[in-house]
Amino acid sequence: MAPWDHKERQGPHLTAGVLPHVCSMGISIWDPIYAERFHASREHEFIHVMEGETVIHLRRGKVKAISGDTLFLRKNTIHRDEFLRASAFKVLHVMFRWDEYDGFISRDVNAQLVGVPSIEKLKIREMAMAMYGLFRDDRPFAQEMVDASLYNAILYCVGAATAGDRPSGGGKPAAEKRHAVIEEAKRYIRNNFGRPLSLSDIADHLGLSEYYVSHMFSEESGFTFSSYVTQLRMERAAELLHDLKHNISEVAYSIGYGNQAYFGKVFCKYFNCTPSRYRTRILKVRRRKQSAVLSKQS
């Protein structure tokens, strides 16, 4: 293995306890030559594939992993890595000690992890890169934060891997829980699109990351966050323009746009006419209807 950006920590934790203890971490490029022989590590391994494809051959069976997949290897596990493409195989590689490994991570976890939904893989990647960012930081208690971050990543991976085999909290399958999260996000947007609203507001409300919410929202609803908000605002703007009590700047402000010119630009793109032109059309339709009514009465 040829380290690309790798370092080790020599902390006070000589043995692992309740939390795992990260010994080393780095973004590495694995050389195909390294894969020609079976080998084993003295520490447990957390491997997040960033680029490339591999098949890890074990004494019993094998597992294929591609970009976005995450794998675990127990210490002293004899294995060989086969690379499926000529390009380098780039990974975030974590070596760690943990007395509780066998109690948390099953032997078939890798076969389960490579089959989890893409939205779960995106969340795991986000957690892995956040952990790497902490590892590179020299702030006080960085080691403890990294260990806790790895622990959280392990729990999330195990939860994602087993979600398809059993109901998750509240008796709902994982897919139903994701759907419920998106419905709550939509409800929050519908109740708050009248003010400036950002993806971070939704993420904070749901207790999730912006990156995770953005991808889950698109995958589950078929809309991006911004397009969904725009649709709600434009539909409301069209309703308000029917009421002549509201001038255009008031309409813009009431649906979360502090700038009337920007509101006009978005409205024109959505309805293919300016707000004032839209209102003119409404008035023309009203006059025609009124004229029709008067002609019938006369």
SS3 250: helix
| Residue type, position 143, single letter | Q
Q: What residue ranges do the domains of the chain occupy? A: 2-166, 171-223, 228-297
Tell which CATH classification among 3.40.1080.10, 3.40.50.970, 1.10.3720.10, 2.60.120.280 matches the domain 2-166: 2.60.120.280
The label of the residue with tokens 């006059």 reads 287
The pLDDT of residue 28 is: 81
Are 171-223 and 228-297 in the same CATH fold? yes
How many CA within 13 A on the CB side of residue 129?
9
pLDDT value, residue 16: 40
Pick the CATH number of 171-223 from 1.10.3470, 1.10.10, 3.30.420, 1.10.260: 1.10.10
Q: Which CATH architecture has domain 228-297?
A: Orthogonal Bundle (1.10)
**Rounded-to-integer distance, Cα 200 and Cα 235, Å:** 23
Question: So what's the pLDDT on residue 214?
Answer: 79
Q: Are the C-beta atoms of residues 202 and 216 closer than 8 Å to each other?
A: no
pLDDT value for 88: 65
pLDDT at 166: 45
Distances (CA, A) of 143 to 138, 155, 171: 9, 18, 36
| Residue 15 pLDDT | 39
Distance CA(109)–CA(161), nearest Å, equals 7
Each residue's pLDDT, cut to its tens digit, for the chain (298 residues) gives: 444 444 554 443 333 447 899 999 998 876 555 555 787 889 999 999 988 888 888 877 788 888 889 999 999 988 887 776 555 678 899 999 999 898 889 888 888 888 888 888 888 998 999 999 889 887 778 888 999 999 999 988 988 887 654 444 444 556 677 778 888 888 999 999 888 888 888 888 887 777 677 777 777 777 788 888 998 999 999 889 988 888 999 999 999 998 899 999 999 998 889 999 988 888 887 788 777 766 766 6
* pLDDT (tens digit per residue) in 42-101: 999 999 998 888 888 887 778 888 888 999 999 998 888 777 655 567 889 999 999 989
